[in-house]
Chain A
Amino acid sequence: MRFALRRVGFFLLTLWAALTLNFLLPRVMPGNPVEAAISSLHVPLTTSEMNAIAAQFGINEHQGLVAAYFTYLGHTLTGNLGVSFVHYPTPVTTYIETGIWWTLGLVGTTTVLAFVLGTAIGAISAWRRGSRLDSTLPPLLVFTTAIPYFWVGLMLILVFSTILGWFPSKGGYTLGATPALTWSFIGDVLDHAILPAAALLITTIGGWVLTMRNTMIGTLTEDYVRMARAKGMPPHRVMVNYAARNAILPNLTGFAMSLGFVVSGAILVEYVFNYPGVGFMLFNAVESNDYPLMQGLFLLITVAVLLCIVLSDIATAILDPRTRTAS
Chain B
Amino acid sequence: MAMPISVSSGQQTGLPDPSVLPTSQGARGRTALSRLTTAIRRNRKATVGVILLLLFTLVALFPNLIPHYNPVEIFYGPKCPSCYSRPALVQATPSSAHLLGTDLEGHDVFSQVIVGTRAVLVLAIVTGLLTTLIAMVVGVAAAYLGGSWDSVLNVVTDVLLVIPLFPLLIVIVKYIGQSGNLVLILVLTVTGWSYTARQLRSQSQSLRNRDFLLAARVRGERSFYIIMVEMIPTMTSLLLACFLGNALYAVLAGSGLQFLGLGDPNMISWGTTLYWADTQGALQSGLYLWEIVPGLCIALLGAAFALLNYAFDEIGNPALRPMRARKRARKQAAVAIPVGGLASDDAHAS
Contacts and interface: CB of A to CB of B under 8 A. Distances in A.
A267 interface: yes
A268 B260 CA distance: 8
Main secondary structure of the interface of A (DSSP, over half): helix
Given A142-B307, A260-B163, A268-B260, A135 B323 contact: yes
Nearest to A33: B175
B161 interface: yes
Contacts of A142: 6, 45, 303, 306-307, 310
Given A146-B299, A302-B167, 5 more contacts: A146-B248, A148-B298, A215-B9, A250-B12, A257-B195
Interface of A: 10, 13-14, 17-18, 21-22, 25-26, 29-30, 33, 129-130, 134-135, 138-139, 142-143, 145-151, 154-155, 157-158, 162, 203-204, 206-207, 210-211, 214-215, 217-218, 221, 250, 254, 256-261, 263-265, 267-268, 271-272, 282-283, 286-287, 294-295, 297-298, 301-302, 305-306, 309
Contact of B174 (A135, A203, A207, A294): A294
29 contacts: A14-B158, A17-B163, A26-B175, A129-B323, A135-B324, A142-B45, A143-B299, A143-B303, A146-B252, A146-B302, A150-B259, A151-B274, A151-B295, A151-B296, A155-B292, A158-B291, A210-B9, A214-B13, A214-B320, A250-B12, A254-B8, A264-B167, A264-B256, A268-B259, A282-B167, A286-B260, A294-B171, A298-B167, A301-B164
B295 A17 contact: no
B60 interface: no
Nearest to A247: B12
Interface residues on B, range: 35 or more
A207 B2 contact: yes
Contacts of B176: 29-30
A84 B325 CA distance: 59
Main secondary structure of the interface of B (DSSP, over half): helix
Contacts of A297: 167
A257 B295 CA distance: 26
B126 interface: no
Nearest to B284: A162
B338 interface: no
Contacts of B288: 158
A217 B306 contact: no
A158 B291 CA distance: 9
B80 interface: no
B9 A282 contact: no
B162 to A, nearest CB: 6
Which of A26, A154, A211, A215 has the most C-beta atoms of chain B within 10 angstroms of its own C-beta? A154
Contact of A148 (B8, B255, B284, B324): B255
Which of B3, B163, B253, B320 has the most C-beta atoms of chain A within 10 angstroms of its own C-beta? B3
Nearest to A22: B171
Nearest to A30: B176
Interface string B253-282: 101100111100000000000100010000
A259 B295 contact: no
Given A142-B306, A149-B256, A211 B158 contact: no
Contacts of B65: none
Nearest to A260: B164
B170 A267 contact: yes
B313 interface: yes
Contact of B322 (A135, A254, A268, A283): A135
B61 interface: no
Contacts of A268: 256, 259-260
A146 B162 contact: no
Interface string B23-62: 0000000000000000000001100000000000000000
Contact of A264 (B155, B166, B292): B166
B213 interface: no
Interface string B331-350: 00000000000000000011
B319 interface: yes
Nearest to B174: A286
B323 A207 contact: no
B163 A218 contact: no
B291 A217 contact: no
Given A148-B295, A217-B13, A302-B164, A143 B255 contact: no
Contact of A218 (B14, B253, B284): B14
B319 A218 contact: yes
Given A217-B320, A298-B167, A264 B253 contact: yes
A169 B195 CA distance: 35
A325 B319 CA distance: 30
A203 B301 CA distance: 16
A313 to B, nearest CB: 11
Nearest to A222: B350
Nearest to A271: B260
B305 interface: yes
Interface in B121-170: 155, 158-159, 161-168, 170
Contacts of A22: 171
A287 B261 contact: yes
